[in-house]
C-alpha cells in the first residue's frame, strides 16, 4: 500500500511566509522568509512542497519573483498555486520547474480554458477544489463558484488528473481534517485526491492515511507545522508505510 504523501505548505503574502485562518485576508500570522521555510522543510525530509502565492490568489499583487526563487531552490517536487488563471500566468508557473500547478478560480470562472490546459499539460495540472460545505469558493475564497460534485464530474469528464480538496472551514484552525468530505470526494472520482485543511496532530495524519486505499494520495500540512504541533520528521515517520 502506498504511503500518504506529505506536502508542507509555504503560503506567501507580501513577501512573507504566512498562515491564515479560513483563508481570510487579514488573518495572517507571519513566519518570516518563504525561502528559509521551504529549505527547512526540504532539509527535514520533505518530498513535496505546497507553494502558494496568496497575493495572486487574492488579487492584491503577486510574489512571482520570490515564488520562482523558492521553487528554483528546491530539489524536491513543488506543487504551485495562486493566481494561475491564464496562459501567461500558467507559463510563468511552469517555467519555475514546479512538478504541477493547482488551478482554483480558473476552474470555476473559465472552465473552457482549464479543459484546454488539462488536455495540453496532463498531470502537470491539478484542480484545487476549495469548499465551504459543498459549495466551491474562488477569488481568494471570497466568491461562490458552484457545486463541488457537479464541477468534479465535469472535470473528470475533461481528464483532470488530480484534485486538491480544501475544507475552508477547517483551514488554519487545527480542528482536524474533514474525513467525511475526503471520503465523499474519493467516492465521486477515481483520480487521486490531496487533502488540505485542519491537520492538527499526528493522529490526524494517521487518520488521513487510512483513506489512502479509498483514493487519498497526499495531505497538505501548514499551521500544525508552523505552530510546532509536531515536527516534519515526526509526521513523515507517522505516515511511513
Ligand atoms: O492556501 C490558502 O490559505 C488560500 C487562501 C485563500 C485563497 C487561496 C488559498 N490557497 C490556494 O490558492 C489556490 C487558489 O488560487 P486561484 O484561485 O487559483 O488564484 C488554491 O490552490 C488554494 O487552495
Residue of 62, 130, 171, 204 with catalytic role:
130
- Calculate Rg over the CA atoms of the chain: 16
Spatial distance between the Cα atoms of 63 and 71, rounded to a whole number of angstroms: 12
| ipTM associated with this complex | 0.90
Ligand 1 close to Cβ of residue 168 (< 6 A): no
Q: Is the pLDDT of residue 241 over 70?
A: no
Ligand 1 close to Cβ of residue 145 (< 6 A): no
Q: Ligand 1 atom 23: the closest Cα is on which residue?
A: 128
pLDDT tens figures, 189-221? 999 999 999 999 999 999 999 999 999 999 999
What is the grid cell recorded at 151? Answer: 464541477
Q: Is the pLDDT of residue 229 over 80?
A: yes
Indicate whether this model's pTM tops 0.95.
yes
Average pLDDT over residues 53-73: 97
Instruction: Give pLDDT, residue 207.
Output: 98
Q: Is the pLDDT of residue 111 over 70?
A: yes
Q: Is the pLDDT of residue 93 over 80?
A: yes
Q: Tell me, yes or no, if 123 is annotated catalytic.
A: no
Which helix (H) or strand (E) element contains residue 49?
strand 48-53
Spatial distance between the Cα atoms of 160 and 22, rounded to a whole number of angstroms: 26
| pLDDT band, residue 238 (cuts 50/70/90) | very high
Q: Are 108 and 135 in contact (CB under 8 A)?
A: no
Spatial distance between the Cα atoms of 186 and 211, rounded to a whole number of angstroms: 9
Atom of ligand 1 minimally distant from the CA of 130: 23
pLDDT tens figures, 4-23? 999 999 999 999 999 999 99
**Of all residues in the chain, what percent carry a pLDDT higher than 70?**
100
Ligand 1 close to Cβ of residue 102 (< 6 A): yes
Ligand 1 close to Cβ of residue 57 (< 6 A): yes
Average pLDDT over residues 162-191: 97
Instruction: Give pLDDT, residue 140.
Output: 87
Q: Tell me, yes or no, if 11 is annotated catalytic.
A: yes
Q: Ligand 1 atom 7: the closest Cα is on which residue?
A: 140
**Average per-residue pLDDT in the chain?**
97
| pLDDT band, residue 1 (cuts 50/70/90) | confident
Ligand 1 close to Cβ of residue 82 (< 6 A): yes
Ligand 1 close to Cβ of residue 163 (< 6 A): no
Ligand 1 center–CA 1 separation, angstroms: 30
Q: Ligand 1 atom 18: the closest Cα is on which residue?
A: 104
Amino acid at each position: 500500500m502506498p504511503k500518504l504523501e506529505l506536502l508542507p505548505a509555504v503560503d506567501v503574502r507580501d513577501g512573507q511566509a504566512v498562515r491564515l485562518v479560513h483563508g481570510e485576508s487579514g488573518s495572517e500570522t507571519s513566519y518570516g522568509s518563504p525561502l528559509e521555510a521551504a529549505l527547512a522543510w526540504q532539509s527535514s525530509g520533505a518530498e513535496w512542497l505546497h507553494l502558494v502565492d496568496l497575493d495572486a490568489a487574492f488579487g492584491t499583487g503577486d510574489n512571482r519573483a520570490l515564488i520562482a526563487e523558492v521553487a528554483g531552490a528546491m530539489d524536491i517536487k513543488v506543487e504551485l498555486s495562486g493566481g494561475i488563471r491564464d496562459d501567461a500566468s500558467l507559463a510563468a508557473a511552469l517555467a519555475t520547474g514546479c512538478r504541477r500547478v493547482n488551478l482554483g478560480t480558473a476552474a470555476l470562472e473559465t472552465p473552457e480554458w482549464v479543459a484546454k490546459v488539462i488536455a495540453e499539460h496532463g498531470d502537470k495540472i491539478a484542480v484545487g477544489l476549495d469548499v465551504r460545505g459543498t459549495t466551491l469558493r474562488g477569488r481568494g475564497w471570497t466568491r461562490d463558484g458552484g457545486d463541488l460534485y457537479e464541477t468534479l464530474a465535469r472535470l473528470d469528464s475533461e481528464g483532470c488528473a488530480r484534485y486538491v480538496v480544501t475544507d475552508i472551514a477547517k483551514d488554519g484552525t487545527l480542528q482536524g481534517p474533514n474525513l467525511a468530505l475526503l471520503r465523499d470526494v474519493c467516492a465521486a472520482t477515481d483520480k487521486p485526491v490531496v487533502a488540505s485543511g485542519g491537520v492538527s496532530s499526528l493522529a490526524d495524519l494517521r487518520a488521513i492515511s487510512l483513506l489512502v486505499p479509498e483514493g487519498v494520495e497526499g495531505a497538505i500540512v501548514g499551521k500544525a507545522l508552523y505552530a510546532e504541533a509536531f515536527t516534519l520528521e515526526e509526521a513523515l515517520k507517522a505516515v511511513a508505510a
